[in-house]
Amino acid sequence: MYTWWEIDRLNEITIQHNRVQMTTTAIWLPTELAALFVISKLSRNWDSYQADPPSSEIIETAHQLLTDLANDPYLPRPYVNSTRNGGVQIEWEHGQRYFELEVHTLYLGVHLFYSGDGVEEKSCYMEGDRLGTIIDYIYRVHK
């Protein structure tokens, strides 16, 4: 007996074998890229408390991160928000567990993971093998 993801993978292989191309991008990507586009159009004082808008470099970094994460079609949907300090926050939440990732410079972000019994906060770089660490945290939220 196969699990649902094994069946899905077998279907994907069968479809590709028959020369029909199947997308392997997460279905949430267009919605979250649209949210990021709206964030990119914010002006100074967008929250009426002197908040800075994200720079084009931060928007591009967040865009690339979302696109890279969407290569895992089973990754749960994130929520994309702007932050008061000119960053972009990408977050996942399930029950008492949540994971926040803030892009606030070109390559550096801060992430916060809460498991219901403790908080863990770290700084991390948004490139290379760190993507796997980020994905691990996301799946820990939705376990």
**Residue of 72, 64, 71, 68 lying closest to 142 (CA atoms):** 72
Residue 10 pLDDT level (bands cut at 50, 70, 90): very low
d(CA 120, CA 19): 46
Q: What is the pLDDT of residue 54?
A: 95
Q: What is the pLDDT of residue 127?
A: 59
**88-128 residue pLDDT tens:** 999 999 998 889 888 887 666 778 888 888 777 777 765 55
Average pLDDT over residues 43-59: 94
Q: What is the pLDDT of residue 24?
A: 75
Average pLDDT for the chain: 81
Residue 42 pLDDT level (bands cut at 50, 70, 90): very high
- The whole-angstrom distance between residue 79's C-alpha and the CA centroid of its chain comes to 8
Average pLDDT over residues 24-39: 92
Q: What is the pLDDT of residue 51?
A: 94
Q: Which of 34-38, 46-50, 89-93, 131-135 has the lowest mean pLDDT?
A: 131-135
pLDDT reading at 68 higher than 50: yes
Note the pTM of the prediction, 2 decimals: 0.77
